[in-house]
Amino acid sequence: MFDRFEKLIDPFENTELDVPPKGFWAFCWYYTKPVWPILLTASVLGAIIAVLEVLIFTFLGELVTWLSTENAETFFEDNWRQLLWMGLVVLVLLPGVAAIWEMLFHQGLMGTYPMSVRWRVHRYLLRQSISFYQNDFAGRIANKLMQTALAVREVVTRIADILVYVIVYFVAALFVVAEASPYFAIPFMAWLGCYLVTMRIFIPRLKNVSREQADARSVMTGHVVDAYTNISTVKLFSHAAREEDYAKTSMMTFLKTVFLQMRLVTGMNITLTTLNMMLLFAVAAMSISLWQAGSVSTGEIAVAVALVLRFQGMSQWILWEVSGLFENIGTVQDGINTISRERDVVDVPEATALEVPAGEIRFDGIGFHYGKASGVIEDLTLNIQPGEKIGLIGRSGAGKSTLVNLLLRFYDLERGKILIDGQDIAGVRQDDIRANVGVVTQDTSLLHRSIFENVAYGKPDVSREEVEAALSKAHALEFVGGLTDLNDRAGLDAHVGERGVKLSGGQRQRIAIARVLLKDAPILVLDEATSALDSEVEIAIQESLFELMKGKTVIAIAHRLSTIAAMDRLIVMDNGRIIEEGSHQELLDRNGLYAQLWQHQSGGFLAPVQAA
Ligand SMILES: Nc1ncnc2c1ncn2[C@@H]1O[C@H](COP(=O)(O)OP(=O)(O)OP(=O)(O)O)[C@@H](O)[C@H]1O
């Protein structure tokens, strides 16, 4: 039974991946499309429930009238039809409709609706450009995803369901009391007017204070998290007391917003109680005078008073719902700013597959400045032959990593072209480029999954034996064998901590090398690939790396020149330009920047490697 309602929507449907709309309602509608039939049905049922509930109050009035006017002996005989109808409404119709509404709302919408939003946003964000993630915090983006999904649900369901219910309820109730006596409508309308004014006064204030509170909360959390994240720095400098003060200031700011919020809540509750009591008093007083004039029955008075009491209960609930609605509107608006951003790098509509039979790379007069006026890469031309192994050298900030990121099309060029085997990378699918380039970087982050999954990331559907062979070649098998995690999983199944923190830098790098060994792509990029390894392991791994490089086009970046001196050709970059190129010996003979850097380093790390 529950199952059927839970399966009404498939939240994991792979819908389109275009940029989500930026307008508030368009955004909500975009993510509501899969659920709208359920939402509309729930809305209609909500309206029916509201009418039935008001109907029950009229039954109550009729019962009171009957009890004071009808003959007890012939009561059932005279009124059985109406009694049967009342019984049906109370025992069958209302509970039945309410049960269907409950299932639609709680089983059909509450879980799957936000999950469908999360799924679609996550799919879009996974395809966002790398610059999107560089300009924001991963945690903040994840937070936006989670919060926005819930807020979209809240906004839409509150409007489609709860407000519809309340409006229908109020109109039906007004209709019922006005039928008893049009005079009754006066206090109800007056109450409604004052209620709307109360909302107008309190809700914007509550909304503002909620926003302030959310900001204060994130500052407070930020201060606490910052201290825990950098706990070793805090301890090394013995600054626990200073950290306490730092957190206390933000806690006090947060507390101020709570006090302000609670003042508003108290003021609002007092106003509402006063208004409700005034309505009760007015209706009671009016009932007495209308009863004296003989224009209303006791039953009608009972309905009016009962409705006043019902409104009393509902009034506070509605105010909270509406104020929650505004809060959620703010959250959605905030989420749109993060989620509905165009991707900087997109495949052209007619993007073709990339074929890499040889592995020739040409950087053709390229320029790239990270959106600034100049700098980083200036008019750079470089041809790399198929199977050629080049070493990229230059001072920190020379633009080496940027060059590699441009080859991977993490950014679009501002000028020039990059061609792989004659195909302009701007015209091929991004996924294809990355599938054909194996990369080992200096800062290797591992996924918070098992060693096996991390290595197999390079080549899905791989066997354990293949993973073990790759780990063995990367000299990682010896330490992987000894790993166990907190859940007693061992070896290949052991999970590495978030971003691989439970492994040393060198161990992480070896896993990354194993992953790229498995991937076996025709182009290889080694960006400080062995920087975290000690000399002994590095020498051991060099052999595997040389094997990995066989038949491949290689771009290797290293600050430790001895590790790349044996490459076919060395390219020296400075300020985004190539200033020297040639073999190790040629560059030494030229006595330029390379020779200078080499001199600084020789004897520093490894014994100089004889140039190839
Ligand atoms: N995402 C970015 N946004 C803006 N500027 C950037 C970005 N990444 C790098 N830069 C700038 O581009 C220049 C080149 O950086 P790049 O990382 O390519 O140098 P590098 O030669 O690889 O340096 P290192 O050897 O230290 O890794 C630097 O001035 C850097 O500040």
Read off the pLDDT of residues 70-94 as tens digits, 9 standing for 90 and up. 777 887 888 888 889 989 999 999 9
pLDDT at 532 > cutoff 70: no
The pLDDT, as a whole number, for residue 199 is 86
Q: What is the mean pLDDT of residues 441-459?
A: 84
The pLDDT, as a whole number, for residue 606 is 35
pLDDT at 602 > cutoff 70: no
Token pair of 70 as six digits: 């009808």
The pLDDT, as a whole number, for residue 429 is 93
Q: What is the mean pLDDT of residues 174-180?
A: 86
Q: Say how many C-beta atoms besides its own lie within 10 A of residue 141's C-beta.
A: 16
Q: What is the mean pLDDT of residues 450-467?
A: 88
Cα of 401 from ligand 1 centre, angstroms:
7
The pLDDT, as a whole number, for residue 489 is 84
The C-alpha angle 399, 405, 406, rounded to 5 degrees, equals: 90
Token pair of 283 as six digits: 């209706």
* % residues pLDDT > 70 (the chain): 97
The DSSP-derived string for 261-284 is: HHHHHHHHHHHHHHHHHHHHHHHH
pLDDT at 164 > cutoff 50: yes
pLDDT band for position 327 (cuts 50, 70, 90): confident
The pLDDT, as a whole number, for residue 603 is 45
pLDDT at 563 > cutoff 90: no
The pLDDT, as a whole number, for residue 87 is 92
Q: Does residue 401 line the site of ligand 1, with CB under 6 A?
A: yes
pLDDT tens digits, one per residue of 186-207: 998 999 899 889 988 988 898 8
For 555, the enclosing helix (H) or strand (E) is strand 553-557
The pLDDT, as a whole number, for residue 612 is 36
* Contacts for 139-142: CB closer than 8 Å, 24+ residues apart: 140/338, 141/338
DSSP state of 388: -
The Cα–Cα gap between 24 and 334 comes to 10
pLDDT tens digits, one per residue of 379-401: 899 999 999 999 999 888 888 98
Cα of 580 from ligand 1 centre, angstroms:
20
The pLDDT, as a whole number, for residue 63 is 87
The number of the ligand 1 atom at minimal distance from the alpha carbon of 573 is 21
Q: In sequence order, what are the beta bridge partners of 286?
A: none
Q: What is the mean pLDDT of residues 536-544?
A: 73
pLDDT tens digits, one per residue of 200-233: 898 889 888 888 888 888 889 888 888 888 888 8
The pLDDT, as a whole number, for residue 549 is 86
The number of the ligand 1 atom at minimal distance from the alpha carbon of 370 is 4
CB 382 within 8 A of CB 363: yes
Rg (CA), the chain: 36
Q: Does residue 376 line the site of ligand 1, with CB under 6 A?
A: yes
CB 221 within 8 A of CB 338: no
Q: Say how many C-beta atoms besides its own lie within 10 A of residue 37's C-beta.
A: 12
Nearest residue by C-alpha to atom 28 in ligand 1: 397
The Cα–Cα gap between 110 and 333 comes to 21
Nearest residue by C-alpha to atom 9 in ligand 1: 402
pLDDT at 609 > cutoff 50: no
Considering 106-115, 168-177, 328-337, the range whose residues carry the highest mean pLDDT is: 106-115
Q: For the chain, report the end-to-end CA distance as a whole number of angstroms.
A: 74
pLDDT tens digits, one per residue of 511-526: 888 999 898 899 999 9
The number of the ligand 1 atom at minimal distance from the alpha carbon of 442 is 27
Q: In sequence order, what are the beta bridge partners of 364?
A: 417
pLDDT band for position 252 (cuts 50, 70, 90): very high
pLDDT tens digits, one per residue of 279-316: 999 999 999 999 898 888 888 888 888 888 888 888 88
pLDDT at 146 > cutoff 90: yes
Cα of 591 from ligand 1 centre, angstroms:
26
Please give the biggest Cα pair distance in the chain. Answer: 124
Q: What is the mean pLDDT of residues 19-31?
A: 93
**Higher pLDDT among residues 98 and 501, named by residue:** 98
pTM for this model (two decimals): 0.79
The pLDDT, as a whole number, for residue 39 is 93
The number of the ligand 1 atom at minimal distance from the alpha carbon of 405 is 18
pLDDT at 324 > cutoff 50: yes
Token pair of 508 as six digits: 């992480």
Q: Does residue 398 line the site of ligand 1, with CB under 6 A?
A: yes
The pLDDT, as a whole number, for residue 498 is 56
Q: Does residue 87 line the site of ligand 1, with CB under 6 A?
A: no
Q: How would you classify the pairing of strands 553-557 and 389-394? A: parallel
The pLDDT, as a whole number, for residue 44 is 94
pLDDT at 507 > cutoff 80: yes
| Mean pLDDT rounded to a whole number for the chain | 87
Length of the chain: 612
Q: What is the mean pLDDT of residues 143-164?
A: 89
pLDDT at 501 > cutoff 50: yes
pLDDT band for position 529 (cuts 50, 70, 90): confident
The pLDDT, as a whole number, for residue 445 is 76
Helices (H) and strands (E) in the chain, counts: 22, 10
Q: Which of 25, 6, 4, 10 is nearest to 336 (CA)?
A: 25
Q: Does residue 400 line the site of ligand 1, with CB under 6 A?
A: yes
pLDDT tens digits, one per residue of 41-62: 999 999 999 999 988 988 888 8
**Higher pLDDT among residues 556 and 539, named by residue:** 556
Helices (H), 89-230: 94-102, 112-126, 130-134, 138-157, 164-180, 182-229
Cα of 395 from ligand 1 centre, angstroms:
11
The Cα–Cα gap between 411 and 366 comes to 12
pLDDT band for position 546 (cuts 50, 70, 90): confident
As a dihedral over the C-alpha atoms of residue 224, residue 228, residue 233, residue 234, rounded to 10 degrees, the angle is 60
